[in-house]
Structure 1
Amino acid sequence: MDDDPMNLRVVQEILTAFGHTAVMASSGQEALARLACERFDVVLMDIHMPEMTGIEVVERLRASLGPERNTPVIALTADVLSRRPQDYAALGFADFVSKPILVSGLMASVRRAVAGIPSRRFSRAS
């Protein structure tokens, strides 16, 4: 989910090239509506969007009562300075990918999320 049509297209092309089916949503409300009636393996969520941020979408998703509440959500963001990777985990995200998106990073994150493997980015340093 992203409010920028070009970003949606780029992500869709990457996912399609790797044999995945991508369903697009251009707003938080649209994403929540789709999640309430369709099953998805993973959600890619832009953090900064008008009307409802990606964080607000994840909060509402996690508070819902249906099975969609456990869908792994990967944060997509160009803002890598205001939050640490651990902050995204605390907010309910399975992982995060910084923009501009690198294909290898995106696909590694998707594989981890679908497999239910916690991101190494969220592990604590000893």
Structure 2
Amino acid sequence: MSELKAMPGRPLSVLHVDDDPMNLRVVQEILTAFGHAAVMASSGAEALEHLGRQTFDVVLMDIHMPGMTGIEVVEKLRASVGPERNTPVIALTADVISRRPQEYTALGFNDFVSKPILVSGLIASIQRAAGPGEARQPLSRAG
């Protein structure tokens, strides 16, 4: 595996939501290796709390979580009235059979990364989603 290098541009504030502690740890290590600040949440409810208190450049959202799925979190986020409602959200899931990646756009996601996560795909997706201003790119399959 090639050595990880910080990507050019400003450091980003990223919220990663996943009920699996190992996934949280791996993604946190990737994000920090690329110079980004990572905040972890282990549930949808915890994610919404963070989003209500802090501004993030991008959210990485696991789809299958107990209690509140990633899809339900995005529905609540997009229906909110605060500025957080426009935060780019990238779907993370191993379930690439039941939904086509394009379906995540209709659900309110900005991008899609399949698990197991490939570092290059994840970082490319984050760069697209947190791109300059309103010029964010639509959903594309990364990973």
Question: Could you state the TM-score of these two structures normalised by the residue count of structure 1?
Answer: 0.94
Are 1:97 and 2:113 counterparts?
yes
Are 1:76 and 2:92 counterparts?
yes
8 A Cα contact 2:63 2:91, kept in partner: yes
Q: Which residue of 2 aligns with 1:88?
A: 104
Aligned pairs for 1:1-126 (under 5 A) are 1-115=17-131, 116-121=136-141
Taking the aligned partners of 2:140 and 2:121, their CA distance within structure 1 comes to 12
SS in 1 for 2:56: coil
Q: Judging by fraction of residues, say which structure has more helix.
A: 1
8 A Cα contact 1:112 1:119, kept in partner: no
Taking the aligned partners of 1:42 and 1:18, their CA distance within structure 2 comes to 14
Q: CA deviation at 1:50?
A: 0.2
Identity %: 79
Question: Deviation string for 1:11-35 (max 9, x for gaps)?
Answer: 1000100000000000100000110
Q: CA deviation at 1:85?
A: 1.1
Unpaired stretches in structure 1, ≥5 consecutive residues: 122-126
Taking the aligned partners of 2:43 and 2:101, their CA distance within structure 1 comes to 24
Question: Could you state the TM-score of these two structures normalised by the residue count of structure 2?
Answer: 0.83
Question: Deviation string for 1:23-67 (max 9, x for gaps)?
Answer: 000010000011011000000000000000000000000000000
RMSD after superposition: 0.7
SS in 1 for 2:73: helix
Question: Deviation string for 1:92-121 (max 9, x for gaps)?
Answer: 000010000000000000000001122344
8 A Cα contact 1:40 1:71, kept in partner: yes
Q: Which residue of 2 aligns with 1:124?
A: none
Unpaired stretches in structure 2, ≥5 consecutive residues: 1-16
Q: Which residue of 1 aligns with 2:6?
A: none
Aligned length: 121
Amino acid at match of 1:118: P
